[in-house]
Amino acid sequence: MDDGLPGSPARLERERLDLALQASGLAEFEWDIARDIFIVSPRMAALTGLPPGPSAAEGGEYPYRSIHPDDRDRVRGEVREQVEARGAYQVEYRRLRPDDGREVWMRASGLVVRGRGGQAERLIGVLQDITEVKEEEARREALMGELDHRVKNVLAAVQSMANRTARGTTSLSAFVDAFSGRLKAMASANELLTAARWRGAAVADLAAAELGGLAQHQARWTGPELVLSPRAVNALSLALHELAANALKFGALSTPTGRVDLRWRTLPGGGVELIWTETGGPPVTAPGRDGFGLTMLGQVTGRQLNGEVTLDWRPEGLRARITAGAEALAPTPEAPAPAVERVTRGELGDAPAKGDSNLLGLRVLIVEDAALLAMELESALADAGAETVGPAYELAEALQLVEQPLDAAVLDANLNGHMVTPAAERLRARGVPFLFATGYGEAGGAPGGVGAPVIRKPYDVGAVVAAVAQLAGR
């Protein structure tokens, strides 16, 4: 019987093996130990750059020649130990292709075939190019390192901001208001950067994030399309927040007739200039001393933008000039990320002010996996007269609690890796109003695709209580 004939069992088996190797990206090889010949298959030749066919194995040394010198001794040792222990091996190493010198990653697996007397006769194996896998691992490690670096920087900045804010305030409530506002400004900047994959953010989006919710009908902003670097985004976001907060307390935004005008333009020598102008508010005088916000504007913002900040305390309203160097500008992406607006109570309509909410007799479900935040929200809802249900920290627990009699619900979008969508859909089916209180930005889309009011973290629990009152018609 001719095993080479079409349709013969041996021929079919060989064809199946070839297809399997091709589909898996594997390349086979063989070392004839008795004759000391190393046989490179055509697939292995294409994968490694070695010449196809038989070559002198040199006592098994031949395949080690093109292994990266830094890996060669390690691979020899691992192969020897594994073969002695179980007659097979699997190793990963870098290989230098002899044809073009490229460095590639390989995974090699081999099995020793022994004769009747137990002596090793052949070693057969397969190779796989895992360069892309290794590069992806390296990218993930680099991203994790960058994430670790950024998280530490953010925590350090938050700690410093908390300390400096505490020094400049005389009461706990004043500290909470000032610190929460600055923290939200940082969150808005981070949300914009995340939406753009940390390539930068547009000045117009920053203006919308800081002014769109604070002064929807009292502020306007205009200027050319300019994208700032991540460092500049964080600096300008905090600067605009400080200017807006000052305007709300003492300036143009403290009265219904006041107006804020923000304009920006590119500078002839590179960089950008922003002019903040307040009109229609109460008479303005320069403060007797600079608090943390003004100190940050005058010192920190200018340095981070490679420019300067000047404040003109004119009687008719504050005028601030902020300049940023050319280094603060980033290339405009071909497909800019959509503008991300800070989601505030305005999304729910004219919600009652904090402290005025009356939730007496309402049963409100809390679904939140951050225990401290859940406790703070529970306390705030209870202070407003609500009977809280939960908190639910897990999705399974939330799905049980949504079946209870409820008047409203506050849902975190993600519970320990599980989207809260099933609980939201069940609430909707029962006709129970709810809102999302989430850390997800616009880049992640609406939580679970379920349309509902959204308040972004970090938030003021008073705003959440007021939003719940709005939902419940209070």
| pLDDT confidence of residue 338 | 41
455 confidence band (pLDDT: 50, 70, 90): confident
Report whether 326 contacts 271 (CB < 8 A). yes
Which pLDDT score is estimated for 145?
A: 63
How far apart (Å, rounded) are the C-alpha atoms in residues 63 and 57? 8
Going by pLDDT thresholds of 50, 70 and 90, the confidence category of residue 282 is: very high
Separation of alpha carbons 326 and 343, rounded Å: 31
Please state, rounded to an integer, the average pLDDT across all residues of the chain.
78
* For residue 152, pLDDT beyond 70: no
Q: What is the mean pLDDT of residues 95-114?
A: 86
CB under 8 Å to 285, separation ≥6 — which residues? 313, 315
Residues of the chain with CATH 3.30.565.10: 168-340
Query: What pLDDT score does 366 carry?
Result: 92
Instruction: Name 266's Cβ contacts closer than 8 Å, sequence gap at least 6.
Output: 224, 226, 272, 273
User: Quick check: 208 pLDDT over 90?
Assistant: no
pLDDT of 141 over the 70 cut: yes
pLDDT of residue 408: 92
CA distance 303 to 305: 5
Question: Higher confidence at residue 81 or residue 416?
Answer: 81
| CA distance linking residue 73 with residue 96, whole number of Å | 15
**Contact (Cβ atoms closer than 8 angstroms) between residue 31 and residue 57:** yes
Q: Is the pLDDT of residue 268 over 80?
A: yes
Q: Which two tokens mark 208?
A: 């919308």
Q: Which residue has the higher pLDDT, 105 or 379?
A: 105
pLDDT band at 365 (very low <50, low <70, confident <90, very high): very high
Question: Stretch 184-210: mean pLDDT, rounded?
Answer: 69
Domain 346-471 is in which class? alpha beta
| Domain span(s) for CATH 3.40.50.2300 in the chain | 346-471
> Higher pLDDT residue, 193 or 423?
423
Does the predicted TM-score (pTM) go above 0.85?
no
Q: Read off the DSSP letter of residue 331.
A: P
- Report the percent of the chain where pLDDT is more than 70: 73
Least confident range of 79-83, 322-326, 331-335, 407-411: 331-335
| Contact (Cβ atoms closer than 8 angstroms) between residue 281 and residue 328 | no
Any idea which of 148-162, 203-217, 270-284 has the lowest mean pLDDT? 148-162
pLDDT of residue 402: 92
pLDDT over 90 for what percent of the chain?
Answer: 26
Instruction: Give mean pLDDT, residues 341-345.
Output: 32
Angle, CA 115 vertex, CA 109 and CA 119 arms, to 5°:
80
Domain covering 22-129, topology: Beta-Lactamase (3.30.450)
Q: Highest-confidence range of 77-91, 143-157, 294-308, by mean pLDDT?
A: 77-91
Q: What was the pLDDT predicted at 253?
A: 83
Average pLDDT for 20-48: 84
Selected from 3.40.50.970, 3.90.1300.10, 3.20.190.10, 3.30.565.10, the CATH number assigned to the domain covering 168-340 reads 3.30.565.10
Band (pLDDT 50/70/90 cuts) for residue 262 is very high
* Long-range contact pairs involving 296-300 (C-beta distance under 8 Å, separation at least 24): 296/164, 296/238, 296/239, 296/242, 297/239, 297/242, 297/243, 300/235, 300/238
300 pLDDT band (50/70/90 cuts)? low
Among the ranges 14-23, 178-187, 331-340, 420-429, which has the highest mean pLDDT value? Answer: 420-429
Please determine, for residue 405, whether its predicted confidence score (pLDDT) is greater than 90: yes
Nearest to 190 by CA among 458, 461, 460: 458
pLDDT digits (tens, 9 = 90+) for 228-240: 888 888 788 878 8
Q: Worst-scoring range by mean pLDDT, 39-48, 90-99, 119-128, 353-362?
A: 353-362
Residue 191 has a pLDDT of 65
Given a contact cutoff of 8 angstroms between Cβ atoms, the answer to whether 196 and 337 are in contact is yes
Q: In the chain, which residues fall in CATH 3.30.450.20?
A: 22-129
Rounded mean pLDDT, 332-342: 46
Q: pLDDT confidence of 355, banded at 50, 70, 90? A: very low
Does the pLDDT of residue 461 top 80, yes or no? Answer: no
Distance of alpha carbon 444 from alpha carbon 455, whole angstroms: 14
